Amino acid sequence: MNRTGRWAALLSFLSWLLLGCGIGAALLFLFARGQAADALHGAKNSLRAVLDAPAAFLNGASPLILGALAAALAYRGGLWNAGAVGQFILGAAIAAAGGQRGSLHWSVCLLLGLLGGALCGGLIGLLKTRFRVHEALSGLLLLGLCQPLAGLLSASPFQGRSAALPALRFLRFVSLQEMTVGVPLAALCAAAVWVFLKYTTLGYELRLCGRSLRAGQAAGVDIKRHCLLLMLFSGALAGLGGACFALTPALGGAQAALSWGVLTVPAAFLAACHPLAALGSGLLIRFLMLLAGQDRIGLAAALSLIGGMLYAASLSGALRSSGGKAVRREKREEEGAP
Amino acid sequence: MNAAGYVSRSLLCFLPLLLSSLGGAASFRAGKTAAALPGVMIAGALAGLAAERMLTLGDWITLTAALLIAGCAGALVGMLAGAAMIRRKARPLIAGLALDALAAAALLALPEKGTSGRFGAAVQSSVTVWMGQWFFTPLWLPAAALLLIFWLILYRTPAGFRLRACGENPRAAESAGAKENALGRFGALLAGFLMGAGGYAAFFCLGSWQAEGWFCLSALALTAAWMGRKKMRHAAAASLLLSFIRTAAEKGGGIVWPGAAPQELIAMLPYFAALILLAACRRGAGPLEEA
């Protein structure tokens, strides 16, 4: 695709997202007529909160970006990591338990969270390759396993943290002295994933398998190894996101790990699974979370907007399926068949 | 709770699981993914609840009408997912995730007091029939009729035959004159109807709006649906097994666990059992399968 085509595709995708936003808002008005207007008026207050404390906003966005990267990487490789939520929760619980009980250094806690996520992701990969269990289904069931496991790891995992990500004090000249290490880490990971996908042989193989696993196999890619490694890497990213969440002060309690983790997968698809666009979608979801606040109707508002945008994104064609009648017809035409 | 109570409670859980998993399995048989199952179930439950509150007919008629209206709402949401998949070639899992988010938003937007139905807590309600130590919900009767009609459509009509053929091999079915897109829509409609009815049955039988309960139920229903991709009776058998395990794992489910066993470990039991079941049966098509 040439440069003009790319811009046209981007504009088309964004206009679909805008349409989805409208659908979400319309549905919200349909279900909660009285309160919906208040919820959407809260957007003004959220914008003010972002401008007043940009560092806190960015700190909140970094776990979402890392989680979105995990789901996006798996999708680009042809797998659906629905278990990214479970990996996020497990990473958060392990990192928090390490910091709280073991009084470990924050970097060790991050590493532990990453390993926890990778383990969970690897298990999904193993179930797929060895036992033919679909990764979306095993991910969903592992989420059900991870949630009580996180509660079991530490009785109150997210309270009284002893380890926390350090703030970048030297950024006080741009009023970002409260920004933690998590933000540059998320940006670095996004850039690394982008470079990996675009400029490395393994990344090329991964994208090829993402188009069609059969094509990858025909090109000589070991599909079992591919699935296992991809889920390991994806799980590690999600676990890292969870660890960042647990080690960032003022990001909610035990219940929050689940509600934050759940939003990582939509964040990936709102970015059309592009690693750099995941930065933007992470910020967007964080903004919607600020809009949601603590009350029920706020959360409903955020979910309806996200759901509407996601539905529109699925319609946009940017995340099209490789099967279907029309696609087959296109393939036949390309092959020159009548 | 004694053994009869445990079995009765498990059978209460079995009904919504059976309806939803058969709906999901029908979706798989039609060659589509039942990714929107949780969203369809929630939509069905909300529509059934609204019908239950609005209708002022007798208990039995209201119950049957609510089940049918729930099914229609489910079919509508199923069609939305189907339209995205068929018309716009959307990835089923993404469209499903979007509809799940929208359904969850609708559930949250509902006021707290608006979540109680006309029949109250179903198990203790006047429409629950007791037979000695056993009790069963009268929802079984309209649900059984619904399942019979579903079976007749899928296995005893030309449309059902074409639908199954299309699920097995779309290109071959298309060559034989079947219209793939129309059949895909029909499959989404049929599956959505059953899943929506299953959602209302879940609300009626289990009487819970807790997110955790919905998540568990829909995850188990998806597992059972996946098991029934080749043969529908496998979905029914998996539903029965998982409903017994789920009841054993819930608080007051009738099983007395050793005092030292933490509640968290017991809560993991249904998911663990579902994973074991999936791994043991190897129903997937291996790592090459694309969602």
Interchain CB contacts (distance < 8 Å): A and B: 183
Q: Please, where are the H alpha helices in chain A?
A: 3-31, 33-52, 54-76, 84-101, 106-131, 135-153, 182-199, 201-211, 213-218, 223-246, 254-262, 264-270, 277-292, 296-316, 325-335
Contact residues on chain B for A266, CB-CB shorter than 8 A: 97-98, 101
Task: Give Dmax (Cα) for chain A.
Answer: 69
Contact residues on chain B for A152, CB-CB shorter than 8 A: 262, 264-265
Task: Please state the φ and ψ torsions of residue A73, each to the nearest 5 degrees.
Answer: -60, -45
Q: Calculate the average pLDDT of chain B.
A: 82
Q: Quick one: pLDDT at residue A11?
A: 78
Summarised one tens digit per residue, pLDDT across range B163-210 is 888 888 888 888 888 888 888 889 999 999 999 999 999 888 877 666
Point out the residue among A265, A299, A317 whose CB comes nearest to the CB of B97. A265
CB contact under 8 A, B108 and A299: yes
- Residue A256 contacts B where some CB pair is shorter than 8 Å: no
Q: Rounded to a whole number, what is the distance in Å from the CA of B132 to chain A's nearest CA?
A: 36
Point out the residue among A129, A137, A296 whose CB comes nearest to the CB of B226. A137
Confidence of residue B126 (pLDDT cuts 50, 70, 90): very low
Q: For residue A218, what are the CA distances in angstroms to A173, A208, B127?
A: 55, 10, 60
Confidence of residue B134 (pLDDT cuts 50, 70, 90): low
Retrieve residue A35's tokens. 């309160």
Interface test with B, best of A80, A130, A296 (most B CBs within 10 A): A80
CB contact under 8 A, B101 and A306: yes
Model confidence, pTM: 0.88
Task: Find all residues with CB under 8 Å of B60, minimum gap 6, and list them.
Answer: B127, B138
* Section A322-327 average pLDDT: 49
Q: Are A183 and A58 in contact (CB under 8 A)?
A: yes
B93-102, B118-127, B250-259, B262-271 — most confident range:
B93-102
Q: Which residues 62-81 of A have a C-beta within 8 angstroms of B?
A: 78, 80
CB contact under 8 A, B291 and A136: yes
Q: Which residues 107-166 of A have a C-beta within 8 angstroms of B?
A: 127-129, 131-138, 140-145, 148-149, 151-152
- Residue B262 contacts A where some CB pair is shorter than 8 Å: yes
